[in-house]
Amino acid sequence: MKQNTKDIRLTILYIIIAFTFSVAIRLIWAIQFGDYEAFKFNGQFMINTNDGYYWAEGARDLVSGISQLNDLSPIDTSPAQLTAVFATILPFSFETLILYMPVFLSSLIVIPMILIARSLDNLEMGLIASLLASITWSYYNRTMIGYFDTDMLNIVLPMFLLWSIIWAIKTKENKYLIITALDILVYRGWYPQSYALEFSFFGLILLFTLVYDRKNLYNYKLLAIMMFAMLNMDSFIRLGLILGFFYIFKQKRFDKYVYHILTISVLLFLVSGGFNPIWSRLKAYVFKDALVIGEEGLKLHFFSVMQTIREAGQIPFETFANRISGHIVTFSLSIIGYIYLVYRHKIMLVALPMIGLGFLASVGGLRFTIYAVPILAFGIAFLITEGTRYITDKKIIKYFSYFVLTSAILYPNIKHVYEYKVPTVFNQSEVKVLDSLKEIAGREDYVVSWWDYGYPIRYYSDVKTLTDGGKHGGSVNFPVSYILTNNQQVAAKMARLDVEYTEQSFKIKDNNKNLEEDKRVKLFSNIEQMTKDYGFKDTNDFLLSLQTDIKLPKKTRDIYLYLPYKMLNIYPTIKVFSNINLMDGKRNQAPFMFVSRGVKETATTLEFGRGISMDKKSFTLKIGNQKVQARRFVHTAYSKSGKFSKTVQNLNSNSNISIIYMSAYNTFLILDEQTYNSLYIQLMVLESYDKSLFEEVIMNPYAKVYKLKI
């Protein structure tokens, strides 16, 4: 491929411009909230994604050199290791590092995009496409400042892979064989779920070769070395195979064996279980089931967490288009532009897997749209450059047209950035609670809360949790949901049981390390094992026994409950996971709970919204067409010194509905008796706890911590 000094300088200049632009746009959030202290802790902004605390925990433990058995800290993962390296060599605080890493790493996407455009002799297309892709809705949302997650390189790495594939096919140079294979190794090391995209690239190269270049031996070498890199084996084994066969492929005397080597690589891929990870991801995000049924033992039925994750849900077409291109018009033109780009440069067919994975969002959820962003950005950029060249060949007019048209496609995305004012995961007051708990709880102690808060709890309090962003299957969520949404007596027993059985499960899994991970997980379901150990064949009978004086496991560690105010927003979702008959999968009648923060007051009523109102004099609720007097009306408040108080008006003991007015939060709760008596409502909302079961540890309006006494 012909290169000259001017071309190289222009390439570098465009990369610098696009990279600087991407970084600058991502700093808008920090400027907007510069004076907002609630988003800061230890003098720095906190991050704004729950999963980020997972990688931060691993990096923190690597830097400190302290980690304990079964603490689930990801010290052996690439994101944690890379962060630890940066934390060691860079003169920034750890909090600053994890805040800004997404800004700079995600902006690297402009490099492979401009290099791909250079291979097509259209650097201006690369500049325009990289400017757009770097800040388009979904890419920005998942790589903004503070979004410390694998997404900061999840598109950068496959774009580098795409670049190396394109340059390999176009140049036929041996160096791109090893670069492509190493790209796959790095990509897999960073994001183990990369199997599907790697395999799709392989399939498209094979198709491209068979249709357009079937006699080219180089392409078969490329396919073979890619397949060796994709094997479901240890990375060091794959690296050895890659280096070995790269040496062979450089020797012309071995060319006659290339087809045999390709066949061997495919067979090894199949034998090593190469399709298994691909199929498991498809089942998780595409073929989503509401229930997950155990394969052995009691065959219990659990509610699937995938039904409650927004990023795994279907999205409207307009949202789909906006997330990929910023505007439905830009999206439509991008599709046309990509088709035209492929017509002019058939090599860009190889990019189809990223579009396909992006379009999987129509059934798999909005998280996938990010993959289509850079490829369709090429589409609209190609239309702009080709259309302008068709109209005029005068440089001034041409570059002015580039500027105007590029500004037009960038505007909706920049507007989105200004309006996308996402909060940090926790506010300062909530983090102070967890930071204080770190000085109280031991590293072997457990904190029980919902899985949304698992990673931040572990990071700030340095404790263990039952659930988190990666450990939240139906069988794991059931006991935690049961604890939070049932009365204090049975909740306390379940908390002790679940913690001790979780520790027991670690030992069982450690004793079966020879089994695959998914099989080891199926070995031990806490709730099923409890049922069996207490002599029951029906889990419903075991759960009923919690209301009696059953003998609990020996206490091996302390247990704390972290109950934040914000959990009110997801309480109904939490309840879903335990509001099910585990034996047959039938859902129980949903409890009633309504949270109202936008109350409108008239002369005689309080209007809560959704057709629910209350007569101020009689405390009679109107719910749809039904009228019922409240069982009780509870008013909670905090004094200026932070002291909690409540008043209870008992009204109608035959009623099943109560009203709680949380004046400090300007929040009304309308709930049935089951919900009213739940552990979360009693301990967090009402501070009404059984002193024989719990004791206060930290009492803060934003979050409360109790210690289990049994």
Average pLDDT of the chain, as a whole number:
91
Residues of the chain with CATH 3.40.1380.40: 428-576
> pLDDT at position 71, please?
84
Pair of tokens at residue 578: 């335990």
Question: On the CB side of 68, how many CA atoms lie within 13 Å of its CA?
Answer: 10
Flag whether pLDDT at 518 surpasses 70: no
Tens-place pLDDT, residues 315-349: 788 999 999 999 999 999 999 999 999 999 999 99
- Residues 545-587: tens digit of each pLDDT: 999 999 999 999 999 999 999 999 999 999 999 999 999 889 9
The predicted pLDDT at position 657 comes to 96
| Amino acid found at 83 | T
| pLDDT band for position 520 (cuts 50, 70, 90) | very low
pLDDT reported for residue 23:
98
What does the pLDDT read at residue 176?
Answer: 96
The pLDDT tens digits of the residues spanning 484-504 come to 999 999 999 999 999 999 999
Query: 75-121: per-residue pLDDT in tens?
Result: 999 999 999 999 999 999 999 999 999 999 999 999 999 999 999 99
pLDDT confidence bin for 620, thresholds 50/70/90: very high
Q: What is the pLDDT of residue 289?
A: 53
Using 50, 70 and 90 to split pLDDT, how confident is the model at 304? confident
Closest CA to 546 of 473, 500, 496: 496
Distance CA 297, CA 527 (A): 12
pLDDT band of 531, cuts 50, 70, 90: very high
Please list, in sequence order, all residues whose beta carbon lies within 8 angstroms of the beta carbon of residue 199, skipping any fewer than 6 positions away: 230, 274, 278
pLDDT of the residue at 6: 80
Q: Report the pLDDT averaged over residues 247-267.
A: 93
pLDDT for res 3: 59
* pLDDT tens digits, 413-427: 999 999 999 999 999
Q: How far apart are CA 28 and CA 145, in angstroms?
A: 9
pTM above threshold 0.85: yes
Whole-number Å distance between alpha carbons of 85 and 493: 43
Query: Of the ranges 201-205, 382-386, 443-447, 470-474, which one carries the lowest mean pLDDT score?
Result: 470-474
Residue 88: per-residue pLDDT: 96
| Mean pLDDT computed over 155-179 | 96
| Host H or E run for residue 55 | helix 52-64
Quote the pLDDT of residue 507: 81
Please state the φ and ψ torsions of residue 155, each to the nearest 5 degrees.
-105, -30
Element (H, E) at 647: strand 644-650
pLDDT digits (tens, 9 = 90+) for 690-707: 999 999 999 999 999 999
CB 686 within 8 A of CB 646: yes
Q: H or E segment at 623? A: strand 620-623
Cα 314 to Cα 32, 139, 318, 320, 361: the distances in Å are: 31, 18, 12, 9, 7
Q: Which amino acid is at 244?
A: G
For residue 400, pLDDT beyond 90:
yes
Question: Which helix or strand (DSSP H or E) is residue 410 part of?
Answer: helix 395-419
pLDDT over 60 (residue 227): yes
The pLDDT confidence band at residue 632, using thresholds 50, 70 and 90, is very high
Average pLDDT estimate for 654-666: 96
Q: Tell me, what's the pLDDT at 283? A: 57
Strand 559-564, strand 446-448: pairing: parallel
| For residue 363, pLDDT beyond 70 | no
| 199 or 683, higher pLDDT | 683
pLDDT band at 514 (very low <50, low <70, confident <90, very high): low
* The CATH classification of domain 428-576, taken from the options 3.40.50.12590, 3.40.50.10190, 2.40.10.120, 3.40.1380.40: 3.40.1380.40
313: left (phi over 0), alpha (psi -120 to 50) or beta: beta
Sign of CA dihedral 99, 100, 105, 106: positive
